[in-house]
């Protein structure tokens, strides 16, 4: 088995006590420089690394943070995780990732699991199914630091990082309007998610600005955010079968955008002639697509970084935090209409 060297090994080898070795390594003033050097040299030579479990036990913290996302294999989240990792790594933390697959039950279990793993804090983006966040509230009340990113909740007072969903949605919708479309539908995720609400507002604001009435039949929710293709298909078909068929769709999510394009391709619907599209997506291959999708891109990497910095600020603060930041990061519209 793999048995890394311990303080005791060094102590025995050098004929010292573990306390002396510990203090030498931590550069305490009451150890002679000769002894320090001896210890340091030897520790280096055998590549001594303190046992993290022993440290965690003693310090009552694990130097690890739990990350809760819906799916790793999603462009937005894998980019956000990269951002999270970049900061965490530099600060000596490691991250434990768990996926909810948009399920409320999985989210509850994962959060519980992470807490029992004694992570020092959580970075959470809620699942599409999650409406009740008492599982998080309870943990937060017990003192577990939590920072929300992307899909946030207002029921817990803490740091939050979100994209400028309102503006992004507004920009995309306005772009469709300016290009000449009038009957603009909206395909979105679960209606209680913060991102859905904010994007819906942006969509409506754009319509209002140009005096286009909001048509409730034009707004389609997918409870699982497009996790299941049938869900998206149903919604798109519904839109296509409306009396007054929409001439464009603003899509509020990455998976939904992809799913929608797949269905339109299957149905052989001409984009943008029959139906124009604009949607949120963090895919980096949109330029290669046959269908030209104007996209709103979220600063995923930066959001991950920001959320991690905020969490570390809580974790390493000596006093309880009372002022919480609510950061909004700008999105960017990429126009790809042919």
Partner DNA sequence: TAAATTTACGCAATCGTTGCCGAAACCAGG
Partner DNA sequence: CCTGGTTTCGGCAACGATTGCGTAAATTTA
User: Which residue in 146, 153, 144, 145 sits closest to 126, CA to CA?
Assistant: 153
Integer angstrom CA distances of residue 167 from 171, 191, 246: 6, 18, 22
Minimum CB–partner distance for residue 30 and its own copies (Å) = 27
Minimum CB–partner distance for residue 63 and DNA (Å) = 12
- Select from DNA, its own copies, none the partner in contact with residue 79, using the beta carbon and a kind-dependent cut-off of 5 to 8 Å: its own copies
Strand partners, 69: 99
Q: Which is nearer to DNA, 36 or 224 (CB)?
A: 36
- Select from DNA, its own copies, none the partner in contact with residue 117, using the beta carbon and a kind-dependent cut-off of 5 to 8 Å: its own copies
Minimum CB–partner distance for residue 294 and DNA (Å) = 54
Contact 101, 71 (CB under 8 A): yes
Contact 71, 254 (CB under 8 A): no
Strand partners, 94: 64
Where along the sequence are the contacts to DNA (CB under 7 A)? 3, 6-8, 15-20, 22-23, 25-26, 30-35, 48, 50-51, 54-55, 57-58, 60
Q: Which is nearer to DNA, 54 or 335 (CB)?
A: 54
Distance from CA of residue 273 to its chain's centroid?
Answer: 35
User: Which residue in 136, 133, 68 sits closest to 99, CA to CA?
Assistant: 68
Minimum CB–partner distance for residue 225 and its own copies (Å) = 16
- Select from DNA, its own copies, none the partner in contact with residue 288, using the beta carbon and a kind-dependent cut-off of 5 to 8 Å: its own copies
Query: Dihedral (C-alpha) 307, 310, 312, 313: value to the nearest 10 degrees?
Result: 180
- Select from its own copies, DNA, none the partner in contact with residue 108, using the beta carbon and a kind-dependent cut-off of 5 to 8 Å: none
Other CB atoms within a 10 A radius of the CB of residue 49 amount to: 10
Minimum CB–partner distance for residue 109 and its own copies (Å) = 10
Q: Which is nearer to DNA, 34 or 142 (CB)?
A: 34
Q: Which is nearer to its own copies, 219 or 227 (CB)?
A: 227
Contact 196, 127 (CB under 8 A): no
Minimum CB–partner distance for residue 144 and DNA (Å) = 15
Integer angstrom CA distances of residue 127 from 101, 104, 111, 141, 196: 7, 6, 12, 21, 12
Where along the sequence are the contacts to its own copies (CB under 8 A)? 1-4, 49, 51-54, 56-57, 60, 62, 72-73, 75, 78-79, 81-82, 85, 89, 94-99, 115-118, 139, 142-145, 258, 261-262, 265, 283, 285, 287-291
- Select from its own copies, DNA, none the partner in contact with residue 323, using the beta carbon and a kind-dependent cut-off of 5 to 8 Å: none
Contact 154, 219 (CB under 8 A): no
Q: Which is nearer to DNA, 3 or 323 (CB)?
A: 3
Q: Which is nearer to its own copies, 197 or 334 (CB)?
A: 334
Minimum CB–partner distance for residue 49 and its own copies (Å) = 4
Q: And the tokens for 173?
A: 């919708």
């Amino acid at each position: 088995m793999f048995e890394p060297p311990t303080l005791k090994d060094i102590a025995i080898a050098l004929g010292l006590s573990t306390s002396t070795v510990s203090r030498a390594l931590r550069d305490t003033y009451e150890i002679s420089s000769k002894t320090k050097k001896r210890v340091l040299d030897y520790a280096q030579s055998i590549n001594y690394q303190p046992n993290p479990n022993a440290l965690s036990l003693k310090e009552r913290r694990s130097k690890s943070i739990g990350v809760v996302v819906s799916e790793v294999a999603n462009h937005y989240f894998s980019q956000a995780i990269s951002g999270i990792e970049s900061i965490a790594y530099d600060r000596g933390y490691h991250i434990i990732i768990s996926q909810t697959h948009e399920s409320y039950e999985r989210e509850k279990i994962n959060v519980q699991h992470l807490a029992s793993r004694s992570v020092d804090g959580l970075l959470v983006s809620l699942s599409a199914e999650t409406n009740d966040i008492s599982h998080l509230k309870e943990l937060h009340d017990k003192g577990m630091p939590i920072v929300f990113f992307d899909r946030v909740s207002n029921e817990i007072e803490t740091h939050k990082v979100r994209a400028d969903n309102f503006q992004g949605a507004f920009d995309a919708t306005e772009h469709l309007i300016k290009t000449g479309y009038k009957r603009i539908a909206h395909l979105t995720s679960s209606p209680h998610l913060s991102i859905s609400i904010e994007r819906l507002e942006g969509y409506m604001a754009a319509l209002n600005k140009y005096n286009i009435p909001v048509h409730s039949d034009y707004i389609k929710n997918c409870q699982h955010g497009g996790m299941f293709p049938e869900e998206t298909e149903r919604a798109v078909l519904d839109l296509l079968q409306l009396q007054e068929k929409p001439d464009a769709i603003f899509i509020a999510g990455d998976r939904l955008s992809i799913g929608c394009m797949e269905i339109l391709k299957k149905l052989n619907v001409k984009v943008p002639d029959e139906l124009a599209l604009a949607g949120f997506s963090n895919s980096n291959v949109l330029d290669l697509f046959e269908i030209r999708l104007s996209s709103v891109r979220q600063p995923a990497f930066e959001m991950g970084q920001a959320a991690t910095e905020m969490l570390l600020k809580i974790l390493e603060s000596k006093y309880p935090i009372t002022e919480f930041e609510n950061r909004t990061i700008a999105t960017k519209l990429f126009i790809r209409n042919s």
